[in-house]
Amino acid sequence: MALDELKKLLLGRSMSRPEQDAVWRELVIRARRDGPAWVIACVGLAMPGLRRAVRRVGTDWASPTVDLHAEVLEGFLTQLKKVDLDDDRIAGKLVDAGTRRARKARDADADASAIHVNRPWSRAPLNPWDHPDWILARALAAGVIDSEEHHLIGRTRLEGHTVAKVATELGISAAVAGDWRRKAQLKLADAIRAGDLDHVRLDATLVRRRRRLRELLGVVPVAA
């Protein structure tokens, strides 16, 4: 059975909880035994639950330095290696682990950023003021747009160059560039509305986080 068909069954009402657990036991076994492809398959099949976890924790998420999505995913992937396959509600426990990790990171960050003084005090807001350049940079870092789309939007929308001029720079026609920009802007708008760019980091912290997630996914070997 194709994984997209399996996903529909898991999300539907026709499969009982014991049957779902049986499927997830097999998925976890394959992820542990056969490596990255099945780890990624588990993430994909659990994505609706992971998105709900992000929404639950994200309602009061204020940290500009902790990546909410990465914390949820790391909690899920860590639990994937140690969840008890004799237990029930396996998928729920995996998603719950992601939620707990995100909440723990949120609480730790909030405590670290607190300022304790015995007199009135002011501080900068937690949510940073944004700029279109940063939005484009985060969209590029998150994979929402690619480097050519970043260049096309930045040069025409932020720097004031014509589509025809930037099309020449990219070696494509103005008509293709215009259509390309429109589609890229739609992707960007969807990502902004969904909150996918709210907590994307653009420094070494993001690099380290991505490497850690790649290690958990089995894409790169864990350093000794």
Mean pLDDT of the chain: 79
Is pLDDT at 114 greater than 80 in this prediction?
no
Q: What is the DSSP string of 126-162?
A: SSPP--HHHHHHHHHHTTSS-HHHHHHHIIIIIS---
What's the Cα-to-Cα distance from 23 to each of 50, 85, 112, 194, rounded to whole Å? 18, 11, 41, 30
pLDDT grade for 126, boundaries at 50, 70 and 90: very low
Percent of the chain at pLDDT > 70 equals: 75
By the 8 A CB rule, do 99 and 75 touch?
yes
pLDDT tens track for 34-45: 988 899 999 999
User: How far are the Cα atoms of 6, 139, 147, 178, 187 from residue 174, in angstroms, in the given order?
Assistant: 43, 23, 18, 6, 20
Confidence of residue 213 (pLDDT cuts 50, 70, 90): low
Domains and CATH numbers, the chain: 3-113 (no CATH), 132-194 (1.10.10)
What phi and psi, each to the nearest 5 degrees, are found at residue 11?
Answer: -85, -15
Instruction: Decide if pLDDT at 174 tops 60.
Output: yes
Nearest to 1 by CA among 21, 26, 18, 34: 26
At 151-165, the pLDDT tens digits run 889 889 888 889 998
